[in-house]
Amino acid sequence: MEDAPPRVSTAPGAANDRVLVARAQADDREAFEELIRRHQQRVFAVAARILRKREDVEDISQQVFVKAFFSLKRFDQRAAFSTWLYKITVNECWDLLRKKKVRPLVYDSDLSEDQSRQVSASDGSRSTEPDILDRIEARERVDRLLAGLDERDRLMLILKEVEGMSIEEIGEVMDINANTVKVRLFRARKRMVVASRQREK
């Protein structure tokens, strides 16, 4: 199991990224491959939080790196490479969702009773431990709570609280002012917590 990559702005490898990007811009394939290895998991994570379907996540992640490779010459390193990459990821994911014209996530509540039972059975069949079933339920609960948020707010919340991005990075990735990010995050957090407390009651 790999360790999670640290926040980009403070990452010790951030400076190395610049070197690797410069080498990749000079047609060094190995440097680009190294960049892929460094960022693949975060790209996977961001894509997975938006798309959910494993096949889509893998395809989009590949697409992101291919697109990054062919656009790398135009990347002037004013932003961090990772931020630029996440921006491509988010845009690619939203493009895919737009093309498919589907809702990004399918929740248990959207399924019929039979389907829901099948899903639960397939999820729970690997173990009969009650705490694992509790955990599955907890996941579904969080998914439902997140589904109550606006798509952009949900992504913002996840990028901040799960992926550990800074406000500035989120602003760059989503093309929003940092103050707007703060306000929207605050509201989204509040809405989710209120909804959670209501559910508990």
Asked whether position 32 contacts other proteins by CB under 8 A, the answer is: yes
Instruction: Pick the stretch among 14-22, 80-88, 89-97, 181-189 that binds other proteins (CB under 8 A).
Output: 181-189
Does residue 180 interact with other proteins by CB under 8 A? no
Name 146's Cβ contacts closer than 8 Å, sequence gap at least 6.
105, 154, 157, 158, 192
Among 12-20, 66-74, 86-94, 95-103, which window interacts with other proteins (CB under 8 A)?
66-74
State how far the Cα of 121 lies from the Cα of 186, in Å rounded to an integer.
37
**Can you tell me the distance from the alpha carbon of 6 to that of 27, in angstroms, rounded to the nearest whole number?**
27
Among 85, 156, 157, 174, the residue binding other proteins under the rule CB under 8 A is: 157
Write out the two tokens for 36. 């892929």
Cα 86 from Cα 159, distance rounded (Å): 10
- Told to check if 24 binds other proteins by CB under 8 A, we report no
Q: Which of 73, 103, 117, 190 binds other proteins (CB under 8 A)?
A: 190
C-alpha separations of 8 from 14, 55, 60, 66, 82 in Å: 6, 27, 22, 21, 7
Q: Which residues here bind other proteins, judged by CB under 8 A?
A: 1-7, 29, 32-33, 36-37, 40-42, 44-45, 48-49, 54, 57-58, 61-62, 65-66, 69-70, 126-127, 129, 131-132, 135-136, 138-139, 141-143, 145, 157-158, 160-167, 182, 185-186, 189-190, 192-193, 196-197
